[in-house]
Amino acid sequence: MNEKHSQPRRAVDFDRLNRAWYIDKAVQLLVFIGGISAVIFIIGIFVFITKEGLGFVIGDFSFSEFFFSQNWRPTSEKQTTYGILALIAGTASVTGLAMLIAIPFSLGTAIYIAEFATGKTREYLKITVELLAAIPSVVWGFIGLTMMNPLIIDLFDVPVGLSVLNAGIILGLMAAPIMTSIAEDALKAVPDRYREAAEALGATRWQVIFKVVLPAAKNGLLGAVLLGVGRGFGETMAVLMATGHSINIPGSIFDSVRALTATIAAELGETAVGSQHYQALFTIGISLFVITFIINLIADLIIRDVSKG
Amino acid sequence: MLKPNTLILTSALLATAFLLVACGGQDRQVIQNKGSDTLVNVAQAWAEAYQKIDPKTVVAVSGGGSGTGIAALINGTVDIANSSRAMKDKEVKLAKDRGHDPIRHVVGYDALAVYLHPNNPLDEISIPQLAEIYGDGGSYSKWTDLGVEVPGCKNQEIVVISRQNNSGTYAYFRKVILGVDDFRLGTRDLHGSKDVAELVEKTPCAIGYSGLAYVTDHLKVACVAQQTGGECTSPTVTTASNGSYPIARPLFMYTSGEPEGYVGEYLSWIKSNEGQCIIVNKGYAPASEVSC
């Protein structure tokens, strides 16, 4: 087609260019709005929870009571107290145990998928791992309450099976898929020439993975773990059902505990809007927001460091 | 070939659905009914049964807890609020400030049963004993403190099961057992009566409480005495409504002002023999003498 050289076509060309230009600008604007919307939502959410919780923070808030007392009695007739120490201990212990369970599982799976599995096996494995992430958390919670509870009572001969152990196992299984995916990506990002160089020097398969690939992917793997920790801190429904929801600083993995998120979920629905209890729950929300933000930020910085070099 | 057919069929279906909704909506009144989880099953049964009596009135029932229902009444978004506790003075004042005058209707009674695992040899328990188990600073932490040994229960440790701290059931149990005192820390605070029943069924060491209506065949229900060593009463529909069972409470429906029109008709039907038979069938005690 020789459109370029024919005179009458020029105007159309110009027109077309013009329309394309508008479309281009419009799409640009749309993409820009899409791009900053996440930022706007995050800021909006932060402003909202801060606004709701602020009355408590600047009013009757006592820093030492809130963070260092385990007396969470928001509906007491005698004296209401708001101490979240036991809740922090609950969330931390469950997340900690979940990571102890999830790290070996997800790293093992990631190493197998990235380094050993080939063809169909690899595809099936990846799909199965992703399927694990598709189970809703309330189903996990139900499994914890109805199946794991009697099982733990029988196996370990303990009075009750709703405990750090129960919730830790469930949360570990829930966090493993995302950790596996990220860890696998980190392993894939290690250049093949590293492996080839190691093999050329006579290293065995295990030596290649343990001495060369894992150290090279170190940051990415750490990022995967931190994302798993973030997931653990934020999980609500499953821990509400599987921990026993009991205000208690755990002395062993068989003790019942209560998580920060679960407390908000269980109590917010029936508190009067604007009351002290309501504001205290939002203050827990602010604390959680800050904690997960810091964890995700660290994870992000570490992963970013990987891609740089 | 298939596409246009599917399109026509879909639009025809949509049009029919729309027509049905549009026609039905003309002379239909909707009663919004919300609140107590204890009452939600009964409220649902009432709504269904009432549909047959007055097809023009639709009752939309939802749960969420007594507090949620009362809050909705204060905000003016429901016609009837279900509650397993009386409204607090603060709430009544708040409602009046917003131009609502809450009127209380007793629609039945609920006995809070003390649940035990079927293996538990304990048959009766007294209010002071429950206080020692549930209260802050209470001295009972093992079943042997009550003079029994529960088979299958490790260390004889009492696993104390309670409810989340804003449920009406929690507040009522605390008032009867502990007065103004607090529950001990470290109780397992479950979300919903069914979860309590579920956990006690599967945990030999457990003790829990919830409405009589949630008792299952796999649970043992304790006979409750006012004083240790005194005569005990088992929770039944009869003992709940005649007041002899110590942990029974009235169940309320609140309306804004005296109910009129179709809301009034619905409430008087609930209080009638027919309405009260439904609450009896659901395992609660009736507000007045009935013959079913």
Q: Do the domains B111-242 and B4-108+251-281 match in fold?
A: yes
pLDDT at B287 over 90: no
Identify whether residues A286 and A166 lie together within a single domain: yes
Looking at residue A12, its pLDDT comes to: 56
- Record: contact B68-A153, CB cut-off 8 A: no
Domain boundary among A44, A59, A74: A59
Q: What is residue B24's predicted lDDT score, i.e. its pLDDT?
A: 47
Within a domain: A65: no
Any domain includes A71: no
Nearest CA in chain A to B200: A160
Q: What is the mean pLDDT of residues A215-232?
A: 89
**Domains of chain B: which residue ranges?**
4-108+251-281, 111-242
Assess whether pLDDT exceeds 70 at residue B22. Answer: no
Say which residue, A101 or B243, is predicted with more confidence.
A101
Q: How confident is the model at residue A1 (pLDDT cuts 50, 70, 90)?
A: very low
Q: Which residues pair with residue B223 across a beta bridge? A: B124
Decide if pLDDT at B39 tops 90. no
Would you report the helix, strand and coil content of chain A in percent, each value rounded to 5? 75, 0, 20
- Identity of the residue in A72, A86, A244 whose CB atom sits nearest the CB atom of B188: A244
- The answer to whether ipTM exceeds 0.85 is no
Nearest CA in chain A to B94: A272
Do the domain assignments include residue A190? yes
pLDDT tens sequence across B231-262: 999 998 888 888 889 999 889 999 999 988 89
* A275 shares its domain with A177: yes
pLDDT at position A97, please?
96
- Residue whose entry in the numeric block shows the structure tokens 């409405």: B211
Q: A-chain residues within 8 Å CB-CB of B164? A: 245, 266-267
Q: Strands of A8-132 (E only): list them.
A: 72-73, 81-82
How far B180 CA lies from chain A's nearest CA (Å)?
5
Last residue of a domain, one of A43, A59, A75: A59
> Whole-angstrom Cα distance, residue B233 to residue B245?
6
Instruction: Tell the CATH topology of B4-108+251-281.
Output: D-Maltodextrin-Binding Protein; domain 2 (3.40.190)
Chain A residues with CB-CB distance to B174 below 8 A: 77
Mean pLDDT of all residues in chain A?
Answer: 87
Greater pLDDT, B266 or A14: B266
Q: Is B165–A267 a contact, with Cβ atoms under 8 angstroms apart?
A: yes
Q: Is residue A72 part of a domain?
A: no
Residues A44 and A115 reside in one and the same domain: no
Residue A159 domain-assigned (yes or no): yes
* Same domain as A120, residue A51: no
Shortest CA gap B26–chain A (Å): 34
Q: Is B69 on the interface with A (CB under 8 A)?
A: no
pLDDT of residue B260: 86
Confidence of residue A197 (pLDDT cuts 50, 70, 90): very high
CB contact under 8 A, B186 and A266: no
Subunit contact B202:A150, Cβ cutoff 8 A: yes
First to last CA, chain A: 48
B182 vs A73: CB contact, 8 Å cut-off?
A: yes
- Is residue A187 assigned to a domain? yes
Residue A7 lies in a domain: yes
Contact A241, A136 (CB under 8 A): no
What are A233-262's pLDDT values in tens digits? 889 889 988 998 999 899 999 999 999 999
Q: How far apart are CA A159 and CA B28, in angstroms?
A: 55
C-alpha closest to that of B39 among B102, B100, B94, B85: B85
Segment A146-173, tens digit of pLDDT: 899 889 988 998 888 899 999 999 999 9
What is the model's pLDDT at position A158? 87
Would the pLDDT of A94 be above 50? yes
| Residue A199: Cβ within 10 Å count | 14
> How close B150 gets to chain A, by Cα (Å)?
11
Which residues of chain A make contact with B66, given a CB cutoff of 8 A? 270
User: What is the percent of chain B where pLDDT is above 90?
Assistant: 48
Determine the residue among B166, B167, B207 to mutate to test chain A binding: the one whose Cβ has the most chain A Cβ atoms within 10 Å.
Answer: B166
pLDDT of residue B90: 86
Same domain membership, residue A43 and residue A184? no
Give the residue carrying structure tokens 């998580």. Answer: A259
The predicted pLDDT at position B1 comes to 39
Using the 8-state DSSP alphabet, how is residue A272 labeled? P
pLDDT band at B23 (very low <50, low <70, confident <90, very high): very low
| Residues A46, A6 share a domain | yes
Sign of CA dihedral B117, B121, B124, B128: negative
Question: Where residue A20 falls among pLDDT bands split at 50, 70, 90?
Answer: confident
Distance, in Å, from the CA atom of A179 to the CA atom of A183, rounded to the nearest integer, reads: 6
* A82 strand-pairing partners: A72
Residue A145 binned pLDDT confidence (cut-offs 50, 70, 90): confident
Same domain? A175 vs A93: yes
* pLDDT for position A266: 87
B97 or B8, higher pLDDT: B97
**CB–CB of B205 and A271 under 8 A?**
no
Residue A136: CATH number of its domain: 1.10.3720.10
Q: What average pLDDT does this structure show over A280-306?
A: 85
Q: Does B95 touch chain A (CB under 8 A)?
A: no
Chain B residues within 8 A of A246 when measuring between CB atoms: 186-189
Is B111-242 assigned to CATH 3.90.550.10? Answer: no
The Cα of A271 is separated from the nearest Cα of chain B by a number of Å equal to 7
Count of domains observed in chain A: 2
Whether the pLDDT of residue A227 is over 70: the answer is yes
Per-residue pLDDT averaged across B186-210, rounded?
Answer: 90
Question: Quick check: B159 and A160 CB within 8 A?
Answer: yes
Q: Does B203 touch chain A (CB under 8 A)?
A: yes
Domain holding A48, by residue range, is: 2-59
Interface of A with B (CB under 8 A): 70-78, 86, 145-146, 149-150, 153, 157-162, 240-241, 244-248, 256, 258, 266-267, 269-273, 277
Q: Is A189 exposed, middle or buried (0-12, 13-18, 19+ CB in 10 A)?
A: middle
| A48 and A153 belong to one structural domain | no
Same domain, A53 and A146: no
Would you tell me which residues 134-163 of chain B have a C-beta closer than 8 angstroms to some C-beta of chain A? 153-155, 157, 159
Lowest-confidence region among A84-93, B67-76, B142-151 = B67-76
In this predicted model, which residue has the larger pLDDT, A95 or B63? A95
- Is the same domain home to A180 and A258? yes
- Pick B68's closest partner by Cβ from A86, A162, A270: A270
**Average pLDDT of the residues of chain B:** 86
Nearest-angstrom CA–CA distance, A67 and A61: 10
Share of chain A above pLDDT 70, in %: 93
What share of chain A has pLDDT > 90, as a percent? 49
Residue A147 lies in a domain: yes
Residue type, A80: T
At residue A187, the pLDDT reads 93
The closest CB to that of B198, out of A75, A77, A145, belongs to A145
Q: What is the pLDDT of residue A5?
A: 53
To the nearest whole Å, the CA of A76 is away from the closest chain B CA by 6
